[in-house]
Amino acid sequence: MELEHILGIQVLFLGGITAGHHSLNMDIATIMKYVVLLARYTAYLLSSQFLELGIHTIYTAFQTRQFPELHWKDKYKNAVYAFGVSTAVLAVNSQLVLNMDLVLILIACSISRYIEAKRRSATISYGEGMACSFAEGYLYQVIPSDGARFYGLNEQIREAEADQRVIFPVRRLFIVITKSLFCPPNLEHFNKNDPMQPSMEACRSLSDVQKDVAGVRDRVYRNTTYKIRRHPDDHKPVYVVAECATPLHTLWKVLQRRTVYQRLADADGAEITEEFCATLPTIVANSPELRGRVEMIYFDDTNPDENLAEVLLAKIREIEPDFENITRNE
């Protein structure tokens, strides 16, 4: 809200300078001239923002392999309206928006934004920080072997296969990213009422991992295994290690208490989630200890027709097309 006040004062100040330049005596022709110029420059600047938004959307979709929702009615409605009014004013006055001036303005805006980005490069966003914290505070604790007390997620899964006489067709940790950010205590929560649809059932957890971390002796980490049944009589369930992304659950809780966390009262949960989902795969891809051992699952829990068990099966099939043949009878 403070920024809105500052910008409002700035508009009034610059408007006063413009009026003072003409000694407060402007005729209709002069006023129309400034209206057209203001409409043109507004259209130019908004075009720059829309171009940046479009490129950012494509880049995010490439990183997350999912096209992000823009929520334009909430975030960009005023910009779209302003652009429409500006172009309408230009059209009424027989003025073109698309010309070389626009290209040069876009280049100038890109240079300005690039300089700003370089200046702010040392500051990371909330979503980026969550991804880094999740990687260092959790993934690096449960996935790679430390060469001594803990032998790594892959070895933990192999141990579970031997003890339970089952097969995990994909030995990875599946991180479920829910659209609503809600993370239930048990992923069975996402099962459908229709018993003929694939469903999930929580099984034994992998062996506990105990580590001395940040002054805490024998801190315990635990991963839960699930079996996915494609129908009630399925005698070849598919076993996975899956869980929700706890940082996003924390974000969900924070957004439920906006009055407590006042600095985040106007935070955009979807935007923070996009930052998290764009950063974490990059961290995993760049890390030899995590690469190929973490899989992010994007699940629209707000869609009643979407089934987490089916989404997981589709991802397993994508990673291991022959998973049906390598899964033993339970």
List pLDDT tens digits, range 92-124. Answer: 887 777 777 777 877 887 888 777 776 655 567
Do 104 and 162 lie in one domain? The reply is no
Structural domain count of the chain: 2
- Structure tokens belonging to residue 78: 């005023």
d(CA 37, CA 240): 61
Do 174 and 213 lie in one domain? The reply is yes
Q: Tell me, what's the pLDDT at 309?
A: 92
Q: Tell me the backbone φ, ψ of residue 126, rounded to 5 degrees.
A: -60, -45
The residues near 327 (Cβ < 8 Å, ≥ 6 apart) are 167, 169, 236, 237, 238, 239
Residue with tokens 């809780």: 253
Do 153 and 93 lie in one domain? The reply is no
**Last residue of a domain, which of 66, 94, 119?**
119
d(CA 109, CA 106): 5
Whether residue 181 contacts residue 273, with contact meaning beta carbons closer than 8 Å, is answered with yes
330 falls in which pLDDT band (50, 70, 90)? very low
> 261: helix, coil or strand?
coil
Which of 13-22, 47-56, 258-267, 282-291 bottoms out in mean pLDDT, i.e. has the lowest?
13-22
Do 114 and 220 lie in one domain? The reply is no
Reported pTM: 0.67
Q: Tell me, what's the pLDDT at 147?
A: 67
Question: Which residue segment(s) compose the domain that 277 sits in?
Answer: 126-326
Helix then strand then coil, in percent of the chain rounded to 5, is: 55, 15, 35
Strand 216-221 relative to strand 209-213, pairing = antiparallel
Whether residue 57 contacts residue 67, with contact meaning beta carbons closer than 8 Å, is answered with yes
Span 179-206, pLDDT tens digits: 888 899 999 999 988 888 889 999 888 8
d(CA 128, CA 125): 5
Do 97 and 134 lie in one domain? The reply is no
d(CA 230, CA 241): 17
**Last residue of a domain, which of 119, 150, 174?**
119
Do 164 and 279 lie in one domain? The reply is yes
Do 168 and 313 lie in one domain? The reply is yes
DSSP assignment, residue 300? -
Do 176 and 298 lie in one domain? The reply is yes
Do 164 and 40 lie in one domain? The reply is no
- Structure tokens belonging to residue 53: 């938004």
Q: Tell me, what's the pLDDT at 148?
A: 65
Span 18-28, pLDDT tens digits: 666 666 666 77
Q: What's the mean pLDDT in 258-264?
A: 73
Do 191 and 282 lie in one domain? The reply is yes
Q: Tell me, what's the pLDDT at 213?
A: 80
First vs last Cα of the chain: how many Å apart? 59
CATH of the domain at 154: 3.40.50.12100
Do 75 and 182 lie in one domain? The reply is no
**Last residue of a domain, which of 87, 119, 151?**
119
Do 130 and 70 lie in one domain? The reply is no
Residues present in the chain in total:
330
Residue type, 84: G
